[in-house]
Structure 1
Amino acid sequence: MLSWIFSSPSSPPPPPGTRLIPCSVPDLNIAQEWVYTVGLVVSAQLDPQKLQESLLMLIERKFPRAGARLAFRNGAYEFQIPDKFDAETPAASFTVERHTDPCPHRDTVLPSSAPSSTSKPTLIITPPPPLATLFRSPTCPQTLSAFLLPHVPLLHIHLSLYPADDNLTLIGVTMPHIAFDGVGIGVLLRAWTHVLNHSDGGDWARGVESVEGMPWDLVPFGDGDAARKQHDGVDDEEGEELCPARGWYPTTLRGTVTFIARMVYSQVCDPREVMLYVRVPKAWLKGVKAGIMEELLENARGGGGTRQREKGEEEEKEGEWVGSSDVLVAWWVKLLHVHRPPTDTTPLHVHMAKDLRPLRIFSPSHCSPSDPAAAASSDPLPLPATYINNAWCNFPALTAPVATLQRMSVGEVALRVRRAILGYTGAGGYSHSDVEGDNRRDVEAGRNNWATNILHDVAWLSTNANAQKIKTAQILPCPPDGDCLNLSNWRAAGFGGLDFGGGMVDDVDDQADSKKQAKVAFVHWYASSKASTPVPRRQVGTVLMEDEEVVWVGKMCGAGEAERVRRIWGDFVGA
């Protein structure tokens, strides 16, 4: 009779008229508390109505999960996708701010306008622009908890429009990190610009129908328990704790205090923050890579002998290799630490975010829920290229004392980065920009090893206990006495190739050339969070974008540190 007293409380029902998708393990990542903004700088006048109408239709018909609401229900985060989008339930929030005066922050918003060398990298140090006010509206959610309020869309688009003679439009795309990663939002933005440029006279439906969308029910990672059981190499016995993901270090209270105190001390000693950008010409990068490859080829020839090949196996290039991204990362990491004393033995731990989409580690039943034939296959599949939610994992790319890093050549560092990538993902585990030409490897090679590695990390990260340990610094990305640098590579997101020409205002002169003048000229990122979990921007470096000629990298740092980098810049770059 009193059983109702001891029974579990009933689960709150979801809102009527919604479809539910649980947040996956990568969604619940170490940056899940962040709200981040991708800030696109376009040197053109854009029409807000065209942008809004095209994006809303695209989300409604092709990417309904991008129009979901975030909820925390029954102890878990989930996406609640409305069955119908309308004025009461918009697929995204749009705000517009029209300015009568030219942009006062043009030189910091568009650093590419600064004088630059065409043959060698160019260092640009600027004050950080007020990204929060330029790319976000006053009503834009600033924290994860604000996105959990009822009726709040995942996407908030803010347009800053400037006078015709300024020829500038700023597009802020704000979202919770729990819903999108950089490559995922790049998928949606590329689809958006495709619609703008493939629709006649505002007939957005034509452009939308030519876009491949993302199925609303695509759940490639399953739930946390499924992640543990996808591979025999991942131990899921009850009561047995998995080893930490590679690159993470359990610590004591003393270690936690030491780690936090070192971070705070470095900021107190150098409080004024600046943005450090480098414009890297692709021709220069190609030349550096060619020199490294020539040296590696000579080493391979001098070593004599080759690996044994299976009967019938195709011939491969002998020796090791590096990609252009490896060379860029190696050069970038060395630049950020070349100003340190040559006796500095502080251990440096470099983590890189790895895009998991191209890797053949996913269950066919999860990747192709609407394709019975594909779902019945036993072979793991890569993710559909249209997957917009988080699909990444951090891995340790480089560990070395600072002094050792300074003595190493760019080629040596690049090779260590490439070995780390192959050790983590195997010969077949490459991202879209890692591998070029004859260096493409068989995606089947070494699958068991890298699948075990990645699935172990996914399983470890899937437990709430481990996530809480990371949040409270009981597990660190480096030893307490070390330095950590997190690198993100947005080349695969394709921000530099976005063309908003189809969204220009109708009265712009020279319409025939409008598309050429509506490409993204620069991209910024900005993140916010609640006060108890601040965003460590000084510990994050980003490959921001690339176009036909250059690659841009950037990092926030103290003004004193930036000045020390500037002083040695000429010697470092070989000017």
Structure 2
Amino acid sequence: MSRTKTAQTPPDRIVPLHFFDDGPLWRAFILYSMFVFDGVLDAEKLRSSLEQLTRREGWWKLGARLRQSRSETLEYHIPSSFSAERPSLAYSHIKHDMPAAEHPQAARIPRASKIPSVVGNPDDLPGLMRPEGGPLKLGDYINTDRPQLGLHIVSFTDTTLVTIHWPHTMCDAMGKKTILDAWTLVLEGREDEVQAPHGMEFDPFSKLGVNPPEPHKLVPQQLGMFGLLGFGVGLVPTVLRQQETRMVCVPRSFVERLRKDAIAQLAVADNASEPPFLSENDVLFAWWTKLAIAHLPQNSTRTVNLNNAFDMRKRLKPDIFPEGATYLSNGVSFINVLLKVKDIADKPVSYTASAIRKSINELGTREQVEAFQGLVRQGPGKLPPFFGDRNMHLLTYSNWTKADLFSLDFSAARRDAGDALRRTACKPRYIQNNHFGQTMPNAFPIIGKDNDGNYWLSGYMNKGHWARIEELLAKET
């Protein structure tokens, strides 16, 4: 897309990015989320309704152009009006006159398994989720006249794949939910229920972390400049090695049994009068951590840092976020759990799950969120602080379960059904997220819980590690 404009075009309105949106972590990633629907959806209805949303008052960010100022900060350039030459939505559509099962890539779209299993490779499906010439890096936005939000639809005679893509500087997973919820309302003809996201004309986080009420509890274990340098040097071999990604399905029954057993183990160990609380996500993370470090020497005292992305919106209500408000930006903090390899390997899942729950309780408070963001402000280049030691093994989790992405209902766009079927839900059976730009090894997004209660997760690891995980999963059954 060309950046040229006619002399008669009014100048774009310029708005700087919010402080925490313009950071190196978010600049590194371009995100693609693909939703697979077992039904024929009207691509034009999907396009027109999403485009209508991008043109609504208060939703300008979706159609804004991303630019870099002379001081190298990012800013939004908002067209005074949208047109065919300067659209508010990047859109593409491919139609195949065949069932999805007859298409060489679509036939490999994973399906749920009855036991915990590696069910596919998200990188096998690039032609289904990324349009030709689709953005791969931040420069693909800065150096073109591309809107921030893109929509790519691939239609089959029995299946529809709907992909949205955007730079991570625009929003996180909860921001994506904000878009999907509003899009659905427009699609259903309920435009009057759509409210503009909070904080579009101002930065709600402008003072967050400026004067934290208390120090962060992990400050004694924070890496200084030399520790960061050593940790970074140690990461080089991992980053340079070939990476592989896989999709994993963990059935509902397995997670329920895992949680029940972990709670029972803790109750006995602590001689508790009441069962302790562990969430399904606590035990899922703990169980997966055992598998994710299986390639390390199991008797090692090496530190493992479970770096958990944490949505801080709820903790900042009601003064920063009014009740019921949505936020179309990045509202992410991190909670860190520091353990030893041998303890994770030797002890039951309940041990790691309990450590995760304890860290959420202690580091997920309003005061600790402010303390963490204060460290971000103090750190070099807005990098989040690192805790542990220079030789630690870092695992990063990003849990999207609360975004409830599998509840997305596009029944209002169905073409392959009469009125009766259109009144029934049409929800995705499969969702995958691919990121382009910087590949982050040992980072695992938890896509969420599907409509049958199964969990889905994916991630990149060094070549060969996934084969070891598949061996261990085979022993789980």
Query: Same fold per TM (> 0.5)?
Result: yes
- Supply the AA of the counterpart residue of 1:212: Q
Q: Which residue of 1 aligns with 2:359?
A: 420
Alignment of 1:469-548 (within 5 A): 479-505=389-415, 508-514=416-422, 516=424, 518-529=426-437, 534-536=438-440, 538-548=441-451
| Residues 248 and 521 of structure 1: CA distance in aligned 2, closer, same or farther (over 3 Å) | farther
- Supply the AA of the counterpart residue of 1:148: I
Kept in 2: contact 1:359–1:382 (CA 8 A): no
Residue 154 (structure 1) shift: 0.7
Q: What is the distance in 1 between the residues matched to 2:173 and 2:220?
A: 22
Residue 248 (structure 1) shift: 5.0
Kept in 2: contact 1:70–1:79 (CA 8 A): yes
Give me the identity figure in percent: 20
Q: Which residue of 2 aligns with 1:210?
A: 193
**Which residue among 364, 370, 375 is the counterpart of 1:455?**
370
Kept in 1: contact 2:122–2:247 (CA 8 A): no
Alignment of 1:57-456 (within 5 A): 57-61=52-56, 63-75=59-71, 76-101=73-98, 102-112=102-112, 116-117=113-114, 121-149=115-143, 151-162=145-156, 164=157, 167-196=158-187, 198-199=188-189, 207-215=190-198, 216-222=200-206, 226-233=207-214, 250-251=225-226, 255=230, 258-264=233-239, 267=241, 271=242, 273-281=244-252, 283-298=253-268, 302=271, 320-338=276-294, 340-360=296-316, 364=319, 367=320, 381=321, 385-396=325-336, 398-426=337-365, 450-451=366-367, 453-456=368-371
Q: What is the distance in 2 between the residues matched to 1:245 and 1:95?
A: 51
* CA-to-aligned-CA distance 1:188-240 (integer Å, 9 cap, x gap): 112212332x22xxxxxxx2112233143252111xxx3343445479xxxxx
Q: What is the distance in 2 between the residues matched to 1:175 and 1:248?
A: 32
Q: TM-score, normalised by structure 1?
A: 0.72
Kept in 2: contact 1:141–1:147 (CA 8 A): yes
Q: What is the distance in 1 between the residues matched to 2:466 and 2:211?
A: 46
State the SS of the aligned residue for 1:568.
helix
Q: What is the distance in 2 between the residues matched to 1:244 and 1:79?
A: 35
Kept in 1: contact 2:61–2:148 (CA 8 A): no
| Residues 25 and 244 of structure 1: CA distance in aligned 2, closer, same or farther (over 3 Å) | farther
Q: Which residue of 1 aligns with 2:471?
A: 567
State the SS of the aligned residue for 2:298.
coil
Q: What is the distance in 1 between the residues matched to 2:219 and 2:145?
A: 37
State the SS of the aligned residue for 2:299.
coil
State the SS of the aligned residue for 2:87.
coil
State the SS of the aligned residue for 2:77.
strand
| Residues 513 and 335 of structure 1: CA distance in aligned 2, closer, same or farther (over 3 Å) | farther
Kept in 2: contact 1:122–1:279 (CA 8 A): yes
Residue 489 (structure 1) shift: 0.5
Kept in 2: contact 1:44–1:517 (CA 8 A): no
- Number of paired residues? 461
Residue 39 (structure 1) shift: 1.6
Kept in 1: contact 2:91–2:150 (CA 8 A): yes
State the SS of the aligned residue for 2:123.
coil
Q: What is the distance in 2 between the residues matched to 1:384 and 1:98?
A: 39
Residue 326 (structure 1) shift: 1.0
| Residues 401 and 153 of structure 1: CA distance in aligned 2, closer, same or farther (over 3 Å) | same
* CA-to-aligned-CA distance 1:491-536 (integer Å, 9 cap, x gap): 122211111111223xx2455224657311111111122xxxx322
State the SS of the aligned residue for 2:25.
coil
- Supply the AA of the counterpart residue of 2:464: G
Kept in 1: contact 2:123–2:245 (CA 8 A): no
Kept in 2: contact 1:347–1:482 (CA 8 A): yes
* CA-to-aligned-CA distance 1:108-159 (integer Å, 9 cap, x gap): 32333xxx32xxx421243443444321212322211221235321101111
Q: Which residue of 2 aligns with 1:6?
A: none
Larger Rg: 1
State the SS of the aligned residue for 1:331.
helix
Moved more, 508-517 or 415-424: 508-517
Q: What is the distance in 1 between the residues matched to 2:243 and 2:310?
A: 31
Structure 2 unmatched ranges of 5 or more: 1-9
Kept in 2: contact 1:39–1:172 (CA 8 A): yes
Q: What is the distance in 1 between the residues matched to 2:41 and 2:421?
A: 14
Residue 559 (structure 1) shift: 5.3
State the SS of the aligned residue for 2:251.
strand
Moved more, 132-141 or 290-299: 290-299
| Residues 521 and 248 of structure 1: CA distance in aligned 2, closer, same or farther (over 3 Å) | farther
Q: What is the distance in 1 between the residues matched to 2:383 and 2:364?
A: 26
Q: Which residue of 1 aligns with 2:5?
A: none
Kept in 1: contact 2:23–2:383 (CA 8 A): no
- Supply the AA of the counterpart residue of 1:325: N
